[in-house]
Amino acid sequence: MNIINLFLKTSFLVQLIIFILIVFSIISWAIIFQKTKMLNIAIHKMEVFRNLFESGIEISSLYKKIQVRNNSLMGLEQIFYIGFKEFYSLCQNNMYTPEIIMDSTSRAMMISINRELELLETLDDYIAFLGTIGSISPYIGLCGTIWGIMRAFISIGSVKQVTLQMIAPGIAESLIATAISLFTAIPAVIAYNQLNQRINKLEQGYNNFIEEFLAILYRQTYIYKK
């Protein structure tokens, strides 16, 4: 079976539908590869920093270690840096109570996490488009399917004796459009769910880290206060 020959033998409308579906498929795969790579890097960095944070290293030592590259921090490193910087600065002033220090530190880290999530919002736009492709591709393919079946029935209605050669082109058109629409939609839907799951994993990881970090800082409030 020669796919190109089948495509060339279809009607112009079905060719247009197939072309649109192929373009959608190319776009969706480009989004899948690019965004999967970006999210894998972000998740990997989060896990690496979390392992370092939980390795038993002193918080002040970890802060000094990443402070030298504070202009290139991202993810958990940035949240940790902002939070500890705010915490240590307030601890140097005896005017603030532990409750005020922790509240201000928490707000600083929440602002930081919101900024990190804003970077992911650019991903959301692409991922939302991926979901759109997965949703509408079967319906676009359905137009080609209906058109092919209509052609087959028109061929049947115009003659008294029906042959396979008469209805085969219309049936072939409908099957080709259906197959390509599924080829476009299925990977897009799967990737849409997987990418959203990875974004949720990042967000949940950031929030869990903040809760854990705040608990540690609260126990050390009196150590850092003068």
Q: Would you kindly state where each structural domain of the chain is located, as residue ranges?
A: 9-224
- What token pair was written down for 223? 């150590």
End-to-end CA distance of the chain: 81
- Weakly modelled stretches of the chain, pLDDT under 70: 1-10, 121-125, 155-170, 222-226
**H/E stretch holding 111:** helix 98-157
Please give the pLDDT value at position 89.
Answer: 84
Please give the pLDDT value at position 113.
Answer: 85
Q: DSSP letter at 71? A: G
Please give the pLDDT value at position 27.
Answer: 92
Please give the pLDDT value at position 176.
Answer: 81
Contact indicator for 161, 66 with CB cutoff of 8 Å: no
- How many CB atoms within 10 Å of residue 118? 9
Q: DSSP letter at 11? A: -
Interval 130-152: pLDDT, tens? 888 999 998 888 887 787 777 77
Q: Rounded to an integer, what distance in angstroms lies between the CA atom of residue 84 and that of residue 65? A: 13
Please give the pLDDT value at position 162.
Answer: 56
- What token pair was written down for 170? 């219309």
Q: Rounded to an integer, what distance in angstroms lies between the CA atom of residue 132 and that of residue 123? A: 14
Q: Rounded to an integer, what distance in angstroms lies between the CA atom of residue 187 and that of residue 171? A: 25
Q: Which of 209, 30, 41, 215 is nearest to 127 (CA)?
A: 30
Please give the pLDDT value at position 163.
Answer: 60
